[in-house]
Amino acid sequence: MKRRIFNSVLAGLGLSLGEGGIRAAGAATPVRVESFILHPNRWVPNNSVLPVILYRNALPTGGDDPAATFEELFQKNGWPPQWRNGVYSFHHYHTLGHEVLGFSKGTAKLMLGGPGAREVDVQAGDIALLPAGTGHMNLESDAAFEVVGAYPPGQEFDIVRQKPDAAQRLRLESLPFPASDPVEGAGGSLSKLWKYQ
């Protein structure tokens, strides 16, 4: 692909190629990818194989409807957006799908991994990819906080607030692997960091 065409594609996604890698258009710093494993914690199964992936400063959040930018990115990368809302203020996890959360407005402090696990600060422009089974809750957020949620095709969310039963555990162990990274597309961080063993 010619560089000019490649740059046009990036611009269409609100990204640019600069020194240090791909960055959100107009952003002072490039997208930074963080990942970490969360092991089982009390009744929360988490995922000891697939890490949580955080994309910092992934998208610009200006304009009248920044959530639409996240929805468009997720849709292009094969993760149909399902909702706009926030993050529940109680510990829960999902067994029916892997989940990507695009933070389109505001700031929040989330708890990932269940009670007493890992606190993570997020802000508009960040994106979190949570493997199925990952506990999460909103500890605190500002009034502007808005999230776009998406799942791979054929997957969705359920709200589980207790130890998984046998059927839920089987779903967690056999959930299909996503075909594409919801943020970076084919060959993105998901394909490098998510490996079933």
- Under a CB-based contact definition with an 8 Å cutoff, are residues 149 and 70 in contact? no
Predicted pLDDT of residue 5: 46
- Under a CB-based contact definition with an 8 Å cutoff, are residues 117 and 133 in contact? no
Task: Give the list of residues 6+ apart from residue 143 with CB closer than 8 angstroms, or none.
Answer: 106
- DSSP assignments along 131-174, one per residue: -TT--EEEEEE-TT-EEEEE--TT-----B-S---HHHHHHHHH
Compute the half-sphere exposure of residue 120: CA atoms within 13 Å on the CB side of its CA.
29
Q: What three-state secondary structure class fits 37?
A: strand
Q: What is the pLDDT of residues 51-99, one digit of tens each?
A: 999 999 999 988 899 999 999 999 999 999 999 999 999 999 999 999 9
- Under a CB-based contact definition with an 8 Å cutoff, are residues 183 and 75 in contact? no
Predicted pLDDT of residue 15: 53
Rounded average pLDDT over 131-157: 97
Rounded average pLDDT over 137-161: 97
The span from the CA of 88 to the CA of 75, in Å, is: 23
Q: Which two tokens stand for residue 141?
A: 């957020």
- How much of the chain exceeds pLDDT 90, in percent? 80
31-193 to CATH, choices 1.10.3720.10, 3.40.50.920, 2.60.120.10, 3.10.20.30: 2.60.120.10
Q: What three-state secondary structure class fits 119?
A: strand
- How much of the chain exceeds pLDDT 70, in percent? 84
Predicted pLDDT of residue 149: 98
Q: What are phi and psi of 193, to 5 degrees?
A: -100, -25
Band (pLDDT 50/70/90 cuts) for residue 124 is very high
AA identity, residue 98:
H
Structural domain boundaries of the chain?
A: 1-27, 31-193
Q: What are phi and psi of 69, to 5 degrees?
A: -65, -40
Predicted pLDDT of residue 107: 98
